Amino acid sequence: MTEPTDADGALDADYAAAGFTGRLGWGEKPALVLVDFAVAYAEPTSPLFGGPTIMEAVASAQRLLGVARAQGVPVIFTTVRYHADGRDGGVFFRKVPPLRCFLPDSPLGALIDGFEPGEGETLIVKQYPSAFFATPLASMLRAEGVDTVVITGLTTSGCIRSTATDAMQHGFVPVVVREAVADRMPGPHEANLFDIEAKVGDVVSEAEAANAFETFGVGKGR
């Protein structure tokens, strides 16, 4: 399990006693999904700033991206864009005014340098938290024989949790890379990682994810 949020470990003990300690493990073919690495989360003056560890998450995801590319692991990027009046954002756009960062005239909606899709890679445009909701992601992954979705991106309590939950609900093993996700405050970040690992998927280190890419990537003959 991830680190407990209480000093005496009572939370971990309670969850363990109830049986929330299962691990799904790796499938046969992973894909790397890089969720919303947008300037809006990296710019400290932005209302969507992703917190003090944001650049560590960016660096971790970039390292994993390099490994995935070297091993022929499928790579999918996501970004958020809205019509000028936000009508395609529905209730979500009304609920979260900072989503105006993703209107057409905002430079905050651009991807962070280093997260440009390469040849053969996919950029999915979405309007809601999950990379799966109202997008072709699930059908694309199935067509490529993917069974494990390695999730990096921003932010943990929003788009990462939603994407992990939908991955599970679509029948994929969700694997969230701890070092490659971040949130504006430590509390929501840790609480959501804890819940993801207890009820949704696996939370792993960058090193474990990189090793999986090297083990299962087509560069190793699979």
DSSP 8-state assignment for residue 159: I
Sign, CA dihedral 51-55-56-57, equals positive
Q: Report if residue 5 sits inside a domain.
A: no
> pLDDT tens digit string along 21-43?
889 999 999 999 999 999 999 99
What domain range includes position 87?
A: 28-217
The answer to whether residue 220 scores a pLDDT higher than 80 is no
CATH value at residue 96: 3.40.50.850
Q: 3-class DSSP state for residue 119?
A: coil
Q: Which residues contact 58 (CB under 8 A, 6 or more apart)?
A: 37, 42, 112, 114
- Indicate the pLDDT class of residue 221, thresholds 50, 70 and 90: very low
- The pLDDT of residue 5 is 52
Q: 3-class DSSP state for residue 81?
A: coil
Q: How many domains does the chain contain in total? A: 1
The answer to whether residue 1 scores a pLDDT higher than 50 is no
> pLDDT tens digit string along 115-171?
999 999 999 999 999 999 999 999 999 999 999 999 999 999 999 999 999 999 999
- The pLDDT of residue 216 is 87
Q: Which of 75, 66, 65 is nearest to 119 (CA)?
A: 75
Q: Report if residue 47 sits inside a domain.
A: yes
Q: Report if residue 84 sits inside a domain.
A: yes
**pLDDT, mean over the chain:** 94
Angle at 12 between CA 7 and CA 16, to 5 degrees: 160
- Contact between 217 and 72 under an 8 Å Cβ cutoff? The reply is yes
Q: Report if residue 15 sits inside a domain.
A: no
Q: Report if residue 20 sits inside a domain.
A: no
> pLDDT tens digit string along 74-128?
999 999 999 999 999 999 999 999 999 999 999 999 999 999 999 999 999 999 9
Which sequence positions are flagged as catalytic?
Answer: 159
The answer to whether residue 6 scores a pLDDT higher than 80 is no
pTM of this structure: 0.93
The two tokens of residue 37 are 């690495």
Q: Which of 176, 200, 203, 193 is nearest to 5 (CA)?
A: 193
